[in-house]
Amino acid sequence: MEERTTTANRLNAATRRVEIFGDNVSTDGRVERLRTRAGFVIYRIGARVLPFLPGSLYLFADPTAPPRSPVEGASTQKIRSTQGAEKTGANETKSANVADLTAAKTNGFNAETTANLGGAPAIRTNPTEYWLIDAGSGSDESNADLESAFRTIREEFEPGFAPEKIRRILLTHSHIDHFGGANELRRRTGAEVWSHSFESRVVSSFNEQACVSNVRSFHFLREAGVDEAEIPGILDGFGFRPGRAKSTPVAKTLLGGETFGALKTFYLPGHSPGHLAFQLDDVILTGDLLLSKTLTQIWPSRLTPRTGVWNYIRSLRTLSRIGERCERAVGRKLVALPAHEAPIFDVPNRVRQVVRGMERRNGRLFALLEEAEEPLTTLEIARRMYWSGRPNREFFAISDVAARLEFLQQLGLISVANYDEISVANPALRFRKSFADAEAAENAVEQIFGVNGADDEPDSVERDANLGGD
Ligand SMILES: [Zn+2]
């Protein structure tokens, strides 16, 4: 409950629908209206994107539309208060930050005509176009929640809104809970789907990529020590299988670094090869890069190029710097709005917490290897670290461990014990600690992670988004 008050206050969320659903609670179709420092309105839409993982999508007015009013100060205030009373009435939270709107750029959420403005240029009440970040999974629940959220936006916030006004769907990445609904939405709205170039093949040719990926994953799981007979079951539980999602054409591919009016794109790989984040003023939409409560899922880069611990940590560092830059430039902390869980109000600190959490997990893995009498396979480590008895999580657990093993290997801290067998037979790789000097090992890891000064909240980083607890 405390979380709710703080979040609402800090983001000036208005209206009676203000509820920060944040954690993994049901989020069916709920909407929050959030306003950035400069007055951009962002709708946060809750949807049941996966049975075990609620998600958030974000909708805002076309960021390339020029600010619609040169009127600053008193005039802008007047427009707001007149129209605001009509449009949002008693729902509007009278917080200090709503009064800040005198300085707001009027990005299309303001008055309709010039009638009251003493000749000021025309301003539109409602934006004619909207952009949407991510598309949900395309499951019945996800689609129904989106539809209900669209209705809420029209009925309670913006009478002029209609789904057909969504012109762009920008994907943070091509995991099914983010892109699976894109084709249906594109057909319904006529919107273009944009994604990073490295994700576009999955989006536009899902079945092809699912088949390619499953063959690769088969070898990966065998190498991890999974019995061949069990592999199809594990892959099925993971669910990256042909027919699971509908492909959709990608109208424009991005690389990160593009600017579309007020919107900036950032290439932040690690959780996926072409993961993007989108910054609008003092708010950044971070997809799955950084979550408020849990550690995001990671994969080994040899299974999926440009993922892995190393790329992930580098992207977190970049995000931290974006946060620091924002604070220096506009005097407000960057607010990260993730695709799951609650908004993050102190990005650099949350990054430090996550990095610490990663470090702790690596430490546990390292300790397991140390305690073990025999070298261990990836599967054996996964079972000791994570086993939750839920078969649909096995692939996540094995991938997580494989990513950490890969990273520790990159640092020269562990070695493959049975390397002499692998060219003749096809056994699982067995790992052992290769560092005799524990202190030197710790230093090496610390150098890479280089964290200090985080407000440490161990409990908040020990859960895992997909593993649901260790
Ligand atoms: Zn993801």
The verdict on 284 and 392 lying in the same domain is: no
At 27 the pLDDT is 54
Helices (H), 153-294: 176-179, 182-189, 197-204, 206-224, 231-238
At 90 the pLDDT is 34
CATH number at residue 396: 1.10.10.10
The verdict on 385 and 318 lying in the same domain is: no
- Ligand 1 centroid–CA 3 distance in Å is 24
Residue 397, phi then psi, degrees to nearest 5: -65, -45
| Listed residues 338, 353, 368: the one ending a domain | 353
- Ligand 1 centroid–CA 272 distance in Å is 7
The answer to whether position 467 is within a domain reads no
The answer to whether position 305 is within a domain reads yes
| Listed residues 353, 369, 391: the one ending a domain | 353
The answer to whether position 298 is within a domain reads yes
- Ligand 1 centroid–CA 338 distance in Å is 11
Q: At residue 385, what is the residue type?
A: M
- Ligand 1 centroid–CA 172 distance in Å is 9
* Structural domain count, the chain: 2
The structure tokens listed for 172 are 């943070």
At 29 the pLDDT is 74
- Ligand 1 centroid–CA 391 distance in Å is 19
The answer to whether position 469 is within a domain reads no
Closest to 319 in 3D by CA, of 295, 283, 294, 358: 283
470 residues of the chain, pLDDT tens digit each: 334 434 333 333 322 222 333 333 345 678 988 888 888 999 999 999 988 789 999 999 999 986 554 333 332 222 232 233 333 333 333 332 222 222 232 322 222 222 222 233 333 445 789 999 999 999 999 999 999 999 999 998 899 999 999 999 999 999 999 999 999 999 999 999 999 999 999 999 999 999 999 999 999 999 999 999 999 999 988 888 899 999 999 999 999 999 999 999 999 999 999 999 999 999 999 999 999 988 999 999 999 999 999 999 999 999 999 999 999 998 889 999 999 998 999 999 999 999 988 888 888 898 899 899 899 999 999 988 886 666 668 899 999 999 999 998 888 888 999 998 887 777 899 999 886 566 666 666 666 665 444 444 433 334 444 443 32
Closest to 279 in 3D by CA, of 200, 342, 332: 332
- Ligand 1 centroid–CA 120 distance in Å is 46
- Ligand 1 centroid–CA 404 distance in Å is 18
The verdict on 402 and 457 lying in the same domain is: yes
The answer to whether residues 110 and 125 touch, using CB atoms and an 8 Å cutoff, is yes
The structure tokens listed for 154 are 């029209």
The answer to whether position 180 is within a domain reads yes
| Listed residues 326, 353, 380: the one ending a domain | 353
User: What's the maximum distance between 2 C-alpha atoms anywhere in the chain?
Assistant: 85
The verdict on 364 and 347 lying in the same domain is: no
The answer to whether position 276 is within a domain reads yes
The verdict on 413 and 378 lying in the same domain is: yes
At 446 the pLDDT is 66
At 437 the pLDDT is 61
- Ligand 1 centroid–CA 288 distance in Å is 5
The verdict on 58 and 112 lying in the same domain is: yes
The structure tokens listed for 368 are 């397991």
Q: Are strands 335-338 and 414-416 parallel, antiparallel or unpaired?
A: unpaired
The structure tokens listed for 18 are 């203000």
- Ligand 1 centroid–CA 290 distance in Å is 11
- Ligand 1 centroid–CA 285 distance in Å is 13
The answer to whether position 466 is within a domain reads no
The verdict on pTM exceeding 0.85 is: no
The verdict on 342 and 442 lying in the same domain is: no
The verdict on 282 and 390 lying in the same domain is: no
Domain that holds residue 449: 359-461
The verdict on 330 and 372 lying in the same domain is: no
CATH number at residue 59: 3.60.15.10
- Ligand 1 centroid–CA 230 distance in Å is 25
- Ligand 1 centroid–CA 71 distance in Å is 42
The answer to whether position 468 is within a domain reads no
Helices (H), 18-174: 74-87, 96-99, 140-152
Q: What DSSP designation does 66 have?
A: P
The verdict on 208 and 64 lying in the same domain is: yes
- Ligand 1 centroid–CA 175 distance in Å is 5
At 442 the pLDDT is 65
At 107 the pLDDT is 29
Closest to 343 in 3D by CA, of 1, 40, 25, 44: 44
The three-class DSSP label of residue 430 is coil
The verdict on 440 and 380 lying in the same domain is: yes
The verdict on 209 and 90 lying in the same domain is: yes
- Ligand 1 centroid–CA 119 distance in Å is 49
